[in-house]
Structures are given as C-alpha cells and as structure tokens.
Amino acid sequence: MITVYGIPNCDTVKKARTWLDQAGLAYQFHDYKKAGVPADRLPRWLAELGWERVVNRAGTTWRKLDEAQKAAVVDAASAAALCLAEPSVIKRPIVEWADGRLSLGFSAELFDAHR
C-alpha cells in the first residue's frame, strides 16, 4: 500500500493525490494535522531522504521560527525534534511506496519512476 504523508490543504500534496487518483493507484493519506508525525517513521525519512531536504527551509513555517529555533537545527536529531513539534516544517509530501521506497515532493516524472 502507498502512504502519502502531508497536510490536506498543501497544493503539492493535492497535486500528488490527484496524480495517484488519475493513475488508479490506491493509497492511504496520513494527515500530520490530525494524526501527527509518525515518530516511528521519522528517523528513516531523515536518514534516507536527508534531514536537510526533509526540513523545508523555504516554507512559511520555517520563516516564522525565531532565529534561535532555526540555528538549533544542525543534525538529524535536532531536525527530528523540530519536525515533531512543528509538522508543517516537513517538506511535502513524503510518500512511502508499496515497494518500500521513499520519495519527497511531487513531480509527475518522480511519481512515474516509482510506479
């Protein structure tokens, strides 16, 4: 089963879900706002995708953090703490594909490669 992690009002998540629907691929959606960030999955995401990529430093949530909070994110452990406290700082969507591979973000080419 494919699992899409994100927040429902994110435009990129909407595009990813639309692509999956149009491709006829079944998936489950994990909403960070309602269900939180899965703490058991986060270490794998940070290790495989890179904590620098998972933390969205271009997003609104990052920009709203104070300078001390930003400066404290220096490694996977500090990134994990921030992601758990502020789920919207995670780049979206993170997709766990049926074969176990992970992807970050959305593009049709990226999703085609994981089909």
**Catalytic positions, please?**
10
The angle formed by the CA atoms of residues 59, 65 and 71, to the nearest 5 degrees, is: 105
Backbone φ and ψ for 38, nearest 5 degrees, come out as -70, 100
CA pair distance 83, 86, nearest whole angstrom: 5
